[in-house]
Structures are given as structure tokens and as C-alpha cells.
Amino acid sequence: MLIDPESRLSFEKSRSGRRGTQFPKERLSGKEASKLLPAALLRKEAPQLPELTEPEVVRHFVNLSKKNFSIDTHFYPLGSCSMKYNPKVNEWAAALGDFASVHPLQPEETAQGWLCIFYELEQDLKAITGMDRFTLQPAAGAQGELCGMMMVRAYHASRGEHGRRKVLVPDSSHGTNPATAALLGYEVVQVKSNARGRVDLEELGRLVDGETACLMLTNPNTLGLFEDEILKITEKVHKAGALLYYDGANFNALLGITRPGDMGFDIVHLNLHKTFSTPHGGGGPGAGPVGVKEKLIPFLPVPLVEKRGERYGLNFEQPQSVGRLKAFHGQAGMILRAFVYIRTLGRTGLKQVSEDAILNANYLRARLKTIFPVAVDEPCMHEFVLSARTGKGNDLHALDIGKRLLDYGFHAPTVHFPLVVPEALMIEPTETESKETLDRFVEAMTEIRKEMDRKPEIIKNAPHTLPIRRPDEVMAARTPVLTHRDWLRENAQQAPAESNERVAVHRISER
């Protein structure tokens, strides 16, 4: 294995005796720490953490960061992820000492500022979605789904309807939908999409019955299309006594345009890290507040935030509650950032978010559809899906096109999802991208389309300009090396005479 200097692990840069931080020397108890506890409770073998100075640690992580694509450096049209600009004033607010230094178990009277933010965000989310009450506790969209589906179960159980063991999901749904329903012991039934990419009403009619607990739906769906028969869908499901769950992953299209509460949904989760601009952080933290209609309020997790006169407080008294999903009160820092975002945009700005997101998506769709076929050729909402199938008999896939885009300085779209479209490229530009950026993206896609015919191998082997070429994922799964220790063991087995490091340096100087 060749190891560039920049891909050496902190452990490999470690030198015994170096340190990256200093603690006070003063000891108060007058005893050595090892004498304060019985020896049986003390660690025998010290953890082998790396030993580096602060400047070495800083250089290590700054150089690592430079190997990433991110919103602040690149256009990132990753479908269904709403990779929009993350405003810096959000971060300013979250770093304020008067918020960041508060302990979650402080007496309520010493945390009124935080409780006020929780309360106010709930009011805003209610107005935006048309729901009656929110919990801000769930840590992410997937946990919001879990919370919502727990309430579905509790609701039916409270009515003695224990026979409702089926959950319906469209075949275009996110993987978390069926995974969540299955976690709760539900039988997952897929509803086929029709030729227009929407839920097939007839098929839905056949599948929904007295054993159905819920239909989980994203609207706009994962093709970026508004389910225009939504009112018939919700009516059909409700008529069978089942509930409707709204997966808010695609909410960025709906701010000030329409509300899931008005469509007839009973439960909604929102991803604050998508629509409400909190940073994705390389895979979280997110936040997945869940809103419900009146009849489901008793089942919300505890505690709920309430306003009593001029004071804010926590209510733990919910006898029918599904329980608790997280220690303390939720992803407070994300809740604060989302609140700041909503206040920055206000009612007019929020509507502009969705309008521009829709306009940007439709513009890209219109320009790209002459290059690659659109899954369903009609106006989309905030995103759309192309098919990379060209029918030319080459061995190029959506994944390859995504990889080639990296060479052009764009993050790849979501590829091979939704599963209902062969060779899917799912593109979501968001509202914070300029027309110039979109035009450059179109140019890149045009070039790539030409390359597909003329030099397919350049695409098949892309990317060529990034810190690494395509990694061997099969090898990673077959012989998992998941820690530095694994690597030491693996490396010892291969035992090359010359150290790997030196080989790498040698090779680099040859270039």
C-alpha cells in the first residue's frame, strides 16, 4: 500500500513524549490519584492514544479537511439532501456562551432563554406545516420517523385496534421508511408507482384495508414530483382507519406553498439539517422534529415545552406518551440554528426559498433533459431525476457520471436512487445556487455526455484529479480494517522488508 504523507494516521505521526495540551499542575486532595480508588478499579494497560504537539494536530486536521468537497467549496447537487448554504449567523448564535454553556438539567428558571427558543421554533414549525403540536426531541430524520411510527402504534393500540400490522410505503421511498416500520414489527408493503411516477391510486385502493396502520409518504416524492392526487390518497387511507405519515426529507419545496397538515397528514417529521439550513457536518448532527394533529398529541414523547404565562417550562406528565427518544431535550444547538434561520428569512424569505429552489430545479431539468432523459417529463418541485441510460451499449452507469463530475469540480448527484428509475441521477440544486453555477453544471454535463461516446474509459476510471482514485470497496468489506490496531495487525502479516512509508515517499519523488 502506498501511503502519501497526507494520508498518514495521527497514530503514525506520534512520537513518544510529545503533547498537545497542558493541564494545571495543582492537586488539591493531597493524594496521588491512584491511591484514591481501589486498585481493582484502575486501568491496567493505558490506552495508546497518539502523542503530537498542538501545531502537528492542527496541520493534520486542516490538511485532512482539504480533501473534502463541501457546500462552502463546491456545488453539491445531492438529491434529497437539500445541500443549501449554511448561514454563518447560525453558527455565531450556537457558539454564544450564554447558550452553549447551559446544562440540560438546570432548573427551568435558569434556562428560560433556551426554553423560549424551543417554544418559538415549535410555533414556527406548526405554522409552516399546519400541524397542531411538535416535539423537538428526535435527533435526526430517521429517529423522527421512529418517533412518528411509535405514535402510530400507540394510537391504534389506544383504540384497541391491534390488528393493524401493515405499513404501506411507495416503491420510490427512502430506505429509512421500511427500515423504521420493520423495527416496530410492522409488515412492510410496497405500493407501486404509476407511469406518471406517482402513487398508483388503484393499487393503493387494493392494498389499504382494516389491517393497515399507516401510509408513509414523501411529497414531493423522490422523483421530485408533487403527488397531485394527494387529497384522494389521504381520503382513501383515512377511510380505512389508517394514519398518514409525512416524511419531510423533501420539505424544501413547500415553504409557504402548501402544508402537509392541509393535505391530510397526521404526522410529519422535518429535517432541520435539510430545509432549515443546519450544517450536515460530514454526516450529522441532524435534528428531526415531529409534528402531529390534535388526536395524536397525547402520544408525543416527554418532555414537551410549554409556555405558562410569561414563563417557559417542561412538561413530563404525558401518561399515554410513547416515552423518550433521547437523553435530555433534543439537539438544542440545531434547534437554535433553525430558529435563527427562520428569523433571518422571515415569512417572505421562506417562501422565496421554495420558489427559488423550484425554479432552479426546473431550469436545470429543462436544460439537462436534452442531454439525458428525465424520469418523468413534467414540471418538478425542488429536484428531479434523470436516467443515465443512453442505450448505446457502453458499460457506463450513473455512478460513473457522478464520479466524472467530481473532476469537473462538482459534487455528484444522488446516484442509483430512487430505485424505480434505472441509472438514476437525482439532482437537487437548492435555492442558494446562482444561475451561473447552474450553467457551468450544464456545461460539465454536456461535456461528459460527449465523453461517454468518445472516450468512455475516462469516465469509467474517473475521478482523475482527486486525492484518491476509485477505492477498492470489495477489499474493504472482505478484510475489514476498521482501526489503527487492525492496520498494524494487517500490515505485520504482509511484513514488507522496506517500510511502507519510505516506499510512498520514494514513489512520490518520482512523479
Partner 1 sequence: MHYHPLTADDRREMLEAIGVKHFEDLLKGIPSSIRARDLKVPEALSEMELRRELEATGKKNQGSKSVLSFLGGGSYEHFIPAAVPQLMGRNEFYTAYTPYQPEASQGTLQAIFEYQSLIAELTGLDVSNASHYDGATSLAEAGLLALRHTGRRKLLVARSVHPDYRQVLRTYLEAADFTLEEFGFEKNGKFKRKEFQELLNEEIGGVVFQTPNFLGTVEDLDGVAREIHALGAPLILAANPLSLGVLRSPAEWGADMAVGEGQVLGLPTGFGGPYLGYFAVTRELMRRIPGRLAGMTMDQEGKRAFVLTLQAREQHIRRERASSNICTNEGLCALGACIYLTLLGKEGIREVGELNLDRAYYLREKISSLKGYRVEKDSPVFNEFVVFSEKPFSEIQSRLIPQGILAGIDLSRYYPEMKGAFLVCATETKSREDLECFVKALSQC
Least separation in angstroms between residue 242's CB and partner 1 is 18
Stretch that binds partner 1, among 202-210, 237-245, 285-293, 386-394 (CB under 8 A): 285-293
Site for partner 1 in 139-168 (CB under 8 A): 139-143, 145-146, 150, 153
Site for partner 1 in 207-246 (CB under 8 A): 225-226, 228, 230-231
Least separation in angstroms between residue 83's CB and partner 1 is 6
325 binds partner 1 (CB under 8 A): yes
Q: Which is nearer to partner 1, 258 or 387 (CB)?
A: 258
The contact pattern for partner 1, residues 381-400, with x = CB under 8 A and - = no contact, is --------------------
Q: Which is nearer to partner 1, 313 or 463 (CB)?
A: 463
Can you tell me the distance from the alpha carbon of 364 to that of 386, in angstroms, rounded to the nearest whole number?
11
Radius of gyration (C-alpha) of the chain in whole angstroms: 26
406 binds partner 1 (CB under 8 A): yes
Least separation in angstroms between residue 210's CB and partner 1 is 21
Can you tell me the distance from the alpha carbon of 494 to that of 511, in angstroms, rounded to the nearest whole number?
26
Site for partner 1 in 445-464 (CB under 8 A): 461, 463
Stretch that binds partner 1, among 205-213, 236-244, 447-455, 470-478 (CB under 8 A): 470-478
DSSP assignment of 120-163 equals HHHHHHHHHHT-SEEE---SSHHHHHHHHHHHHHHHHHHTT-TT
Angle at 161 between CA 155 and CA 167, to 5 degrees: 70
Q: Which is nearer to partner 1, 453 or 466 (CB)?
A: 466
410: β partners: 75
Least separation in angstroms between residue 245's CB and partner 1 is 13
Can you tell me the distance from the alpha carbon of 383 to that of 105, in angstroms, rounded to the nearest whole number?
42
Sign (positive or negative) of CA dihedral 171, 174, 176, 181: negative
Q: Which is nearer to partner 1, 453 or 489 (CB)?
A: 489
Quick one: which of 236, 275, 233, 232 has its CA closest to 257?
Answer: 275
Site for partner 1 in 175-204 (CB under 8 A): 175-176, 178-185, 188
User: Which residues have CB under 8 Å from 277's CB, separation 6+?
Assistant: 84, 85, 86, 87, 90, 337, 338, 341
Site for partner 1 in 39-58 (CB under 8 A): 40-52, 54, 57-58
User: Which residues have CB under 8 Å from 399's CB, separation 6+?
Assistant: 415, 416
Q: With contacts defined by CB under 8 A, how many residues of the chain interact with partner 1?
A: 207
Quick one: which of 393, 411, 392, 292 has its CA closest to 401?
Answer: 411
Site for partner 1 in 252-271 (CB under 8 A): 255-259, 262-263
